[in-house]
Structure 1
């Protein structure tokens, strides 16, 4: 299996330049003095999450490979718990391509509304039926499927966030990145390990959806039932790695740690009160590891990737109390 390379990620950076925000590294003055912390706020992207990087790169690469039949503008289908949905809807609208997005029932309404706002047709189904419904729509519509993480162009696009980390803080010692389907961690880990070979890259999962942690320790993919993964407050981290992303995670992650839902809530509060940043639960997961798993992590210059900020208002009000 061929893995995404630094050259692939650099090519993706060229494609997304001007359409994706180069997010800054924000210092966190409230962090421990012996563990200086920078926040990579992907929640500042126009759709509120890092997923825009992969979506834009995938559609741009599709256009490059077109054979003159307008492939870049043909109907596209995606399945997602929310952030890839909004990213695909936004990217497709920019290209004038119609889009159908399959989303699981129970997705926060803010994500459903955002996807519809960008012009996509939303199809709500049970969590376990997302992929099968998407493939059915591809056949019915003659569309192109753009998966949320299981594609080299998606991984390379997400890896542009890691490219920026390596360029902006070349002496970084620890990068904490959330893990779900594994596209972000695969891309970020690939870029950081290539540019900063002495850095440690650690994935972070909710305890209630820790299938990737189990898989890495077992040396093969360990499947968790969808209903088990659905228990966590971190609705964006309920997917499980594919063979492609799992191969990347094995290659670039030094470890995976897990955090509880209560710790995720507290991390959201710290971000809101300490840095004036509103993160969704999935986006706050890496900070929860920084706050509560210090004994399991190397000390030194740390970057936390805040993957998204599309949080339901009622949940945010409950978290902030």
Structure 2
């Protein structure tokens, strides 16, 4: 039975139509060799080919389009270590809206450079969540800007759902879709899409062992946090929120934890065998499949490659 607070199928279809002019319908790629290595049929939804290089463009575009004209005139503000920063900057630029981007001082330079290219106004802060939130709140008060959350906002989650919607259009017979999980926005959106647009597809997330708050949250039934986040998957260091966790709790089958060396090996496999650039966070779902081969044996498995914004001077497998 549907959760009464769940968005309808109609809302997700309207979201997709709304953001279509601002996104790419990204390709779904396959690899015979990776099928043989994993023992299943893999279908990679390549959001590394999305505008600004990650799925985050979908949620950012939907969130900004959904604002009133008055809200648009005052601009938007977010805090992000990278991909959502770029997505908000680019979506705002396309829609003629000012974007204020709070970024931790240790964010990858490649991501800062991209934000500048998209005309986002960067405000640097210390690399703690408290510092990020304080800086964003200050801009919100001073400029009247609307805060956009990278993962815990309905409009962002609905926008994110469109990646899995497109994947299921191409491959309606999927048994599983896997995503990485950090803040939970992509996972929740994917779970909504599978719930509304597939009769049998289960949704599973891969998560670094070094930042396994979502895994623990599913077990405890409440939002858990991490004391340390010592992982190369820089996009997965945040925790779930009160908007996405109820969806994840009800509609995500399980979360599989993977070790750092497994993430590196999966990332290397995709670079070498598929000849595409992905960031460490994007390798986590494949690492989860390779770790649990018996569960996925001979199944049709979709994997959402979340992004490809990687620092080429700091590759984990070099």
TM-score, scaled to structure 1: 0.93
Deviation track 1:83-136 (CA, whole Å, cap 9, x = no partner) reads: 000000001111221111111232111111111111111122222221222122
* Counterpart secondary structure, 1:78: strand
Q: Give the match for residue 122 of structure 2.
A: 122
* Pair 1:214 & 2:200 matched: no
Q: Are the structure 2 counterparts of residues 271 and 43 from structure 1 closer, same or farther at C-alpha, using a change threshold of 3 Å?
A: same
Distance 1:73 1:272 in 2: 42
The answer on whether the counterparts of 1:165 and 1:192 sit within 8 Å (CA) in structure 2 is no
**Structure 1: 5+ residue runs without aligned partners?**
none
Deviation at 1:298, TM superposition (A): 6.2
* Counterpart secondary structure, 2:287: helix
- After superposing on structure 2, the runs of 4+ consecutive aligned residues of structure 1 that deviate more than 6 Å are none
Q: Are the structure 2 counterparts of residues 213 and 179 from structure 1 closer, same or farther at C-alpha, using a change threshold of 3 Å?
A: same
Pick which of 96-105 and 159-168 moved more: 96-105
Pick which of 88-97 and 291-300 moved more: 291-300
* Pair 1:47 & 2:55 matched: no
Q: Are the structure 2 counterparts of residues 203 and 10 from structure 1 closer, same or farther at C-alpha, using a change threshold of 3 Å?
A: same
Deviation at 1:252, TM superposition (A): 1.4
The answer on whether the counterparts of 2:22 and 2:91 sit within 8 Å (CA) in structure 1 is no
The answer on whether the counterparts of 1:100 and 1:122 sit within 8 Å (CA) in structure 2 is yes
Distance 1:165 1:45 in 2: 14
Pick which of 91-100 and 127-136 moved more: 127-136
**Structure 2: 5+ residue runs without aligned partners?**
none
* Pair 1:255 & 2:254 matched: yes
TM-score, scaled to structure 2: 0.94
* Counterpart secondary structure, 2:278: coil
* Counterpart secondary structure, 1:312: coil
The answer on whether the counterparts of 2:182 and 2:236 sit within 8 Å (CA) in structure 1 is yes
Q: Give the match for residue 61 of structure 2.
A: 56
Q: Give the match for residue 34 of structure 2.
A: 31
Deviation track 1:112-165 (CA, whole Å, cap 9, x = no partner) reads: 111111111112222222122212210111111111011110000000011112
